[in-house]
Structure 1
Amino acid sequence: MNITENAKTVLEKRYLIRDAQGKALETVPQLFQRVASAIAQADRNYDPQADVEKTAQEFYDTMTDLRFLPNSPTLMNAGRDLGQLSACFVLPVGDSMEEIFEAVKQAALIHKSGGGTGFSFSRLRPRGSVVNSTGGVASGPISFMKVFNTATEAVKQGGTRRGANMGILQVDHPDILDFISCKSDNSEINNFNISVAVTEGFMQAVHAGEDYPLIDPRTKQEVGRLNAREVYDKIVDAAWRNGEPGIVFIDRLNRDNVVPSQGRIESTNPCGEQPLLPYESCNLGSINLAQMVKGEGKKEIDWDKLGQTVDTAIHFLDNVIDVNKYPIPEIDRVTKLTRKVGLGVMAFADLLMLLGVPYNSQEGVEIGQQVMGFIQRRAKEQSCRLAEQRGAFPLFGESIYKDETPIRNATVTTIAPTGTLSIIAGVSGGVEPVFAFAFIRNVMDGDELIEVNPLLRRRLEERGLYSDELMKKVIAQGSLQHIDEIPQDIKDVFVCAHDVSPQWHIRMQAAFQKHTDNAVSKTVNFPHSATREDVDKVYQLAYELGCKGVTIYRDGSRGSQVLNIGKVSKEAKSDEEPQAEPSSAQQQNRLEPRPRPAVTMGITEKVKIGCGNLYVTVNYDENGICEVFTNTGRHGGCPSQSEATARLVSIALRSGIDVQTIIGQLKGIRCPSTIRQPGMKVTSCPDAIARAIEKVMRSQNGGQMPSAVQEMERELNQGAREEEVDHSIAGMRFCPECGAPVVHEGGCVICRQCGYSKCG
């Protein structure tokens, strides 16, 4: 396989089968052989004489050529005992204690198996309603969302990542105002993405400035009225503040409900791209568009290759439905009634760069529409061919397609985020523009490795322009657009997410939505200086252009910024945040930690301890070492103890306590689980932390920040208010596993260095 070292590392770390001691039991090629062979077996369900070896080879070649990759649960679990291959599920939440906690249990089983869940809480009676059976008072949807959130926190998803959820509430629910603000505190409900289900009637009332009714979901009676524009403005304000909630145009989801006889679509998967009926699941996969070009010099789309890949991918995804081991019997039954699949794309930004077309251009939008239109037509044609051999989906006779040619799958296309998949393929994610063209990777000996987008590097080398010094300027600026040494024709094509105006983000999303059965996962990036009116305009444009939902993120709007790109005004502060009064500690002349810096660099070291592996990250800025955090491996122990030690060390470091004093206090502490095992290089978790700090002191010449990062630091907003770091999406700046910056894509954060991802 022609994969990058980073892709190989991600596959080895997250996807290979391992024994109880963590030793890999398969190679990367064997992983794909395992998956291809397992999925090909479904052919025998329809033809006992089927040549499954030939099918397996076709699937293997398509994956290892990086033309198509299925979603992560399929790569992880196909051919293994767990066998759960779906990424997306929607569960119903009924208005009784029994139904609510049945959904909690089912969600836990799904998270354990590696899937994500979507819920609508719109059926729950509002807060303050009388409960007839007990005479008590209902606590409302928000309180039960917190129950689901806590349960998610307790379940480690598939042994590799925490569970992700989507929470949706209908805009006419009486508790809608509480829902809009329920994530204003970034530490609350942090395993959920949330979206308001907006109706056509509500949007019409917004435009007319009229009131609209609030409906009690239990009695179906009007219980109040709100001004639609005021509610809409609250949604816009909350999204402007920290990106939550998103909006889902719920009537549009149901306009494309293939089997309305089975009920209304109420919710989507965690990233919003897959609307599903209760108990439905969907199997996703993505075509790598960077592989779909041909020609020397001037490139063009290879339509034949793309068509063949679509055919193989739809065959693959239909087989997944049959070999899948579903976590709940009802999901097995309902999924097979409609046999929904979701074929999407990754590397669209790379395709445009190969073609020499700007992302933020009408030509780019037209190519997006052309490519997705082709994929949609070809996917439906292949699904119809499969129906000839295998039969249409069981509910075809009562579907919206009943008078048309029989089709195997009720839906065939979905645009998913492809966070980790795009790392494996070494390309840009989904239909997003490139987030950053270059970044610095630190290694243990203190050297700086400059990572550069391979397409940009190749173009600059062809023109004799490439140099490490130039790339450091790109890193510091976050963009090519203001660098004089780079010609304008290259700047026009190599645009990153923050060079693309929010309007072009929406136009591109709408172009793909026109030819997508389900929906499009996309994040609309705003600069820090964007106003609420800017967010309003994008929401209105999304509504006008036919999008099914909108997710936005304003750079720097969350207390713990993911990664600032480009220049941010040093004077930029929220006009609603007054200057803080001196703290009591300052007034009494006590030590107080300096704020955590906006940019740090650091190293992560893997250390073997008595109960497993400990990963110690030590970060520093121009003032020295400022932060330590730890993460235990799958078989590690005492995570709370090591985290507590790391937090106290971080506070001490930023309070000015001498580093050598801290090292002296920690070094040599002994733990029985470590000292009783011969050959250990450390004596405990605190000892490992001390030794990692000591290495940084040596390798980084006292912990001084490299000059390129100092440049980046100066470009960032020094006035932005710093808040406590947590490990929710809202609070995540750096990867908790390797310490690299993470980025927002399609409702998730993704670390493009080690493959860590989190949604919700």
Structure 2
Amino acid sequence: MTRFAAPIAEQIWDMKYRFKEADGKALDETVEDTWRRIAKALATVEKDKKGWEDKFYSALEDFKYLPAGRITAGAGTARSVTLFNCFVMGTVPDTMSGIFDALKEAALTMQQGGGIGYDFSTIRPKGATVHGVAADASGPLSFMDVWDAMCRTIMSAGSRRGAMMATMRCDHPDVESFITAKSDAARLRMFNMSVLITDPFMAAVKADKPWDLVFDGKVYQTVQARDLWDRIMQSTYDYAEPGVIFIDRINQANNLSYCETIAATNPCGEQPLPPYGACLLGSINLARLVADPFDDAAKLDGDALTDLVATAVRMMDNVVDASQFPLPEQLAEAQAKRRIGLGVTGLADALLMLGLRYGSEEAAAQTEAWMKQIARAAYLASVDLAKEKGAFPLFEADKFLASGAMQGMDEDVREAIAKHGIRNALLTSIAPTGTISLYAGNVSSGIEPVFAYAYTRKVLQKDGTKTEEEVVDYAVQMWRDLKGDADLPDYFVNAQTLAPLEHVRMQAAAQKWIDSSISKTINCPEDISFDDFKEVYMAAWDQGCKGCTTYRPNDVTGSVLSVSEPESKPLLAQNTAAGGSDSTATQLAEVTSDGDVVYMTEPLDRPQELDGATYKLKWPDSEHAIYITINDIIHHGQRRPFEVFINSKNMEHFAWTVALTRMISAVFRRGGDVTFVVEELKAVFDPRGGAWMQGKYVPSILAAIGGVIEKHMIATGFLAGEGKGLKSDPKADVVSLSGNRGKACTSCGAYELRMVEGCMTCGSCGYSKCG
């Protein structure tokens, strides 16, 4: 018997978390071996190693407690990787040498598998005087471009690209350029971006007052606060970025406000951190703790929850001592404060099992109650650890208890902390759990609503064949197991059918008992009015959230692929149908006329003859030119690239031109939206320097090849123009709620990308830009 609830769960484990030798030989033969490996590694710092190993194993068993992916993949492997997911780096100095020292630190951190966050508000604005060199400053965005190029060159541990968060204060003189930076489709693709919003700014917005843009005491410009707010809103409405972070609220509530100032967050925003701060994440799987699901007596086992939280806190505290750190400053910061981020996943599924509609007032009240129980259990468990092992080194009882968050804590918890201290400065956070939620049986992610109740995907079998598997939400599968073919009740709702303000209600309810922050995406319909869209952010501010991230599908961001039940016949089996057609949205890649789901992942066959064109590329200072031949195929009436041949007499280029020929051709033959090939190639940065070609700086010869491919795509009508996506899907007509086709996953090619907790995530293979 397997512990996995679905084939996708086992596949995610095998790809992401299973310990293997370099040649691919599995050292974790079963998922039980993975749990034992983690438990043993985290018990090494205990006196009673065997006793705690067994206790830790019990918490991990059956996916009840889910450590973050870095821990699951790295603990007990003796690999030189960090077990911490993300870091906020040191304050960026406003000097050339300091900036590039910071860049080096970022590269070393991402090399070990950590995502990073930076506040670029410390760099002088564009046009400011640079004393001693008779020049003007290029501004923070120019240096963000350098960070972006660096990030693209580094593959993080576990085959993950590094993820980055960039923040900028709302009073920085370059904030308007920061806000609109991502309107350029090719710029800053490796960054998530958020504006740091202060309390005085929000007061100025509400009162429609002027707002000074200031650096180093000098006022560079005065704008209307409401106009600047509207610019932020318009960019987010159009491009899904930047997000907003209510930074003063974060610092006021911070338990450590007496010894640190926060100006940035990790890439997904759930961990506001000081310079060199690190986020250590893990989640309680609420879906596994519900007794008597879908029954009048259904309830979450409170005693089991309290016990599980206490064990999880101890495990996470041990990670601080068991982990490696890319930089000594990160180690010192982690050991001085021992902050952890315990959160939840499977919340929406747990609510469904209790018969509660996500987004309702009842569901919000239940969420708040569960979060309070978790907070109490976590803080009391940390007090017990302080009795045994000592409080965190920077603990000062009076100052700690005077912080904004602690003033709302129950009195018995405050008394325990005053008497015994506390082991961990901060304890709770709700992180993105997209991949670990799939691994745990496709439970709902974090505190997000269920995204899709069921969809079909192809699963690669061990013998190389592919089978079609239905991937079903955990709670929906449980309903089927218990109720058979009975229709889903009308309280089954999903991310696409919820009103945006219901999303805000749930985030605000959870935030009351989360001492760090929450990674959550508020899905908005494409046709939401701009005024209603702005109201979402104002509601997040008014209801006490620490930040806000939205996603509105459109031609620029791509649509979330959701297919409603056709009127004539059900899309899936009857037992997946909910109360109304809107609430049966099922995420699909392609739909045939009879409603069957088809994933077009097989390569296209090559005809005997193809039309194409050959281009000559002469790279400066190179003796021989490169010749690029691109052949096209007509597929579903659309001309699209099918194969590439790259040739040169320069033998120095031989190996990589052959590799490019094979890899790009293989991608093209898979079909789908292959424009990402252009984007990836054009962004390759050569540390030896690029070249000026036809009046434009090209960062590498690979980027030049990407430009040639883009030129060909434009000439054949496959691309609408430079830097633009496909005009239409050349594979199939996709039926969707929004009418848009969405974008293909750059990892597996499936049309399964959706915004999850602030990050584009593939529902098919689990790939996420944020790891």
Alignment TM class, shorter chain as reference: 0.7 to 0.9
User: Which residue is 1:634 aligned to?
Assistant: none
Letter in 2 for 1:19: E
User: Which residue is 2:328 aligned to?
Assistant: 329
Q: Is 1:12 matched up with 2:14?
A: yes
> Equivalent residues in 2 for 1:96-115 (5 A)?
96-115=95-114
CA deviation vs aligned residue, 1:430-478 (integer Å, no higher than 9, x gap): 0000111111224688975433334324435655536xxxxxxxxxxxx
Contact 1:197–1:250 (Cα < 8 Å) also in 2? yes
Contact 2:254–2:516 (Cα < 8 Å) also in 1? no
- Partners of 2:604 and 2:341 in 1: how far apart? 41
3-state SS of 2:172 partner: coil
3-state SS of 2:182 partner: coil
Relative distance call for 1:249 and 1:382 in structure 2 (3 A) is same
Relative distance call for 1:34 and 1:452 in structure 2 (3 A) is closer
- Partners of 1:689 and 1:210 in 2: how far apart? 53
Relative distance call for 1:311 and 1:717 in structure 2 (3 A) is closer
Tell me which of 280, 287, 291 is aligned to 1:290: 287
Query: How big is the shift at 1:26?
Result: 2.4
- Partners of 1:497 and 1:242 in 2: how far apart? 19
User: Which residue is 1:125 aligned to?
Assistant: 124
User: Which residue is 1:465 aligned to?
Assistant: 485
- Partners of 2:234 and 2:269 in 1: how far apart? 20
CA deviation vs aligned residue, 1:650-701 (integer Å, no higher than 9, x gap): 7654665699xx79x99xxxxx9xxxxxxxxxx96689779979xxxxxxxx
- Partners of 1:380 and 1:363 in 2: how far apart? 26
User: Which residue is 2:146 aligned to?
Assistant: 147
Letter in 1 for 2:426: T
- Partners of 1:543 and 1:224 in 2: how far apart? 26
3-state SS of 2:748 partner: coil
Relative distance call for 1:163 and 1:692 in structure 2 (3 A) is closer
- Partners of 2:509 and 2:110 in 1: how far apart? 33
How many pairs are equivalent?
625
Contact 2:8–2:459 (Cα < 8 Å) also in 1? no
User: Which residue is 1:2 aligned to?
Assistant: 3
CA deviation vs aligned residue, 1:506-537 (integer Å, no higher than 9, x gap): 01000000000000110000011112112110
Q: Is 1:275 matched up with 2:277?
A: no
Contact 2:81–2:113 (Cα < 8 Å) also in 1? no
3-state SS of 1:65 partner: helix
Query: How big is the shift at 1:334?
Result: 1.2
User: Which residue is 2:24 aligned to?
Assistant: 22
Letter in 2 for 1:389: E
Q: Is 1:428 matched up with 2:481?
A: no
CA deviation vs aligned residue, 1:532-558 (integer Å, no higher than 9, x gap): 112110111000000000000012353
3-state SS of 1:366 partner: helix
- Partners of 1:242 and 1:339 in 2: how far apart? 37
Gaps of 5+ in 1: 44-49, 467-485, 569-595, 606-616, 621-643, 667-671, 673-682, 694-708, 723-730
CA deviation vs aligned residue, 1:392-421 (integer Å, no higher than 9, x gap): 111112842388341110100001011111
Contact 2:743–2:751 (Cα < 8 Å) also in 1? no
- Partners of 1:687 and 1:758 in 2: how far apart? 24
User: Which residue is 1:453 aligned to?
Assistant: 473
User: Which residue is 2:721 aligned to?
Assistant: none
**Percent identical across equivalent pairs?**
37
User: Which residue is 1:400 aligned to?
Assistant: 400
- Partners of 2:668 and 2:197 in 1: how far apart? 53
User: Which residue is 1:499 aligned to?
Assistant: 497
Query: How big is the shift at 1:42?
Result: 1.6
- Partners of 1:737 and 1:521 in 2: how far apart? 25
Which one is further off, 502-511 or 491-500? 491-500
Letter in 1 for 2:400: I
- Partners of 2:233 and 2:274 in 1: how far apart? 28
Query: How big is the shift at 1:567?
Result: 9.7
Which one is further off, 201-210 or 27-36? 27-36
Q: Is 1:247 matched up with 2:262?
A: no
> Equivalent residues in 2 for 1:640-655 (5 A)?
648=630, 653=635
Query: How big is the shift at 1:601?
Result: 4.7
User: Which residue is 1:528 aligned to?
Assistant: 526
> Equivalent residues in 2 for 1:674-693 (5 A)?
none
Letter in 2 for 1:757: S
User: Which residue is 2:206 aligned to?
Assistant: 207
- Partners of 2:490 and 2:746 in 1: how far apart? 31
Letter in 2 for 1:440: T
Relative distance call for 1:656 and 1:246 in structure 2 (3 A) is closer
Query: How big is the shift at 1:754?
Result: 2.2
Contact 1:318–1:341 (Cα < 8 Å) also in 2? yes
Tell me which of 11, 32, 37 is aligned to 2:35: 32
3-state SS of 2:548 partner: strand
Which one is further off, 539-548 or 53-62? 53-62
Tell me which of 409, 412, 424 is aligned to 1:409: 424
Letter in 1 for 2:3: N
Letter in 2 for 1:743: R
- Partners of 2:536 and 2:256 in 1: how far apart? 31
Relative distance call for 1:425 and 1:618 in structure 2 (3 A) is farther
Contact 1:734–1:741 (Cα < 8 Å) also in 2? yes
Relative distance call for 1:144 and 1:5 in structure 2 (3 A) is same
Contact 2:115–2:162 (Cα < 8 Å) also in 1? yes
- Partners of 2:176 and 2:354 in 1: how far apart? 47
3-state SS of 2:523 partner: strand
User: Which residue is 2:79 aligned to?
Assistant: 81
Query: How big is the shift at 1:292?
Result: 1.4
User: Which residue is 2:52 aligned to?
Assistant: 55
Relative distance call for 1:451 and 1:246 in structure 2 (3 A) is same
3-state SS of 1:365 partner: helix
3-state SS of 1:247 partner: strand
- Partners of 2:389 and 2:466 in 1: how far apart? 59
Relative distance call for 1:181 and 1:619 in structure 2 (3 A) is farther
User: Which residue is 1:746 aligned to?
Assistant: 757
Tell me which of 526, 541, 544 is aligned to 1:543: 541
3-state SS of 2:357 partner: coil
- Partners of 1:691 and 1:235 in 2: how far apart? 40
Tell me which of 501, 510, 513 is aligned to 1:512: 510
CA deviation vs aligned residue, 1:236-284 (integer Å, no higher than 9, x gap): 1111102100000010111023333434200000000101000111211
Query: How big is the shift at 1:111?
Result: 1.1
User: Which residue is 2:768 aligned to?
Assistant: 757
Relative distance call for 1:271 and 1:442 in structure 2 (3 A) is same
- Partners of 1:533 and 1:263 in 2: how far apart? 37
Q: Aligned-pair RMSD on alpha carbons?
A: 3.2
Which one is further off, 221-230 or 338-347? 221-230
User: Which residue is 1:705 aligned to?
Assistant: none
Relative distance call for 1:265 and 1:176 in structure 2 (3 A) is same
Relative distance call for 1:69 and 1:463 in structure 2 (3 A) is closer
- Partners of 2:484 and 2:289 in 1: how far apart? 27
> Equivalent residues in 2 for 1:356-395 (5 A)?
356-395=355-394
Contact 1:120–1:168 (Cα < 8 Å) also in 2? yes
Which one is further off, 493-502 or 556-565? 556-565
Letter in 1 for 2:104: K
Relative distance call for 1:223 and 1:567 in structure 2 (3 A) is farther
- Partners of 1:163 and 1:116 in 2: how far apart? 5
CA deviation vs aligned residue, 1:77-130 (integer Å, no higher than 9, x gap): 112231410012101212111221112111111111111101000111000011
- Partners of 2:26 and 2:189 in 1: how far apart? 33
Letter in 1 for 2:518: V
Gaps of 5+ in 2: 403-416, 567-588, 607-627, 646-650, 652-660, 672-729
- Partners of 1:189 and 1:96 in 2: how far apart? 22
Letter in 2 for 1:733: A
- Partners of 1:157 and 1:170 in 2: how far apart? 29
Which one is further off, 501-510 or 14-23? 14-23
Relative distance call for 1:715 and 1:320 in structure 2 (3 A) is closer
Relative distance call for 1:256 and 1:716 in structure 2 (3 A) is closer
Contact 1:602–1:618 (Cα < 8 Å) also in 2? no
User: Which residue is 1:733 aligned to?
Assistant: 744
Contact 2:632–2:639 (Cα < 8 Å) also in 1? no
User: Which residue is 2:254 aligned to?
Assistant: 257
- Partners of 2:98 and 2:272 in 1: how far apart? 21
Query: How big is the shift at 1:717?
Result: 4.8
Relative distance call for 1:206 and 1:29 in structure 2 (3 A) is same
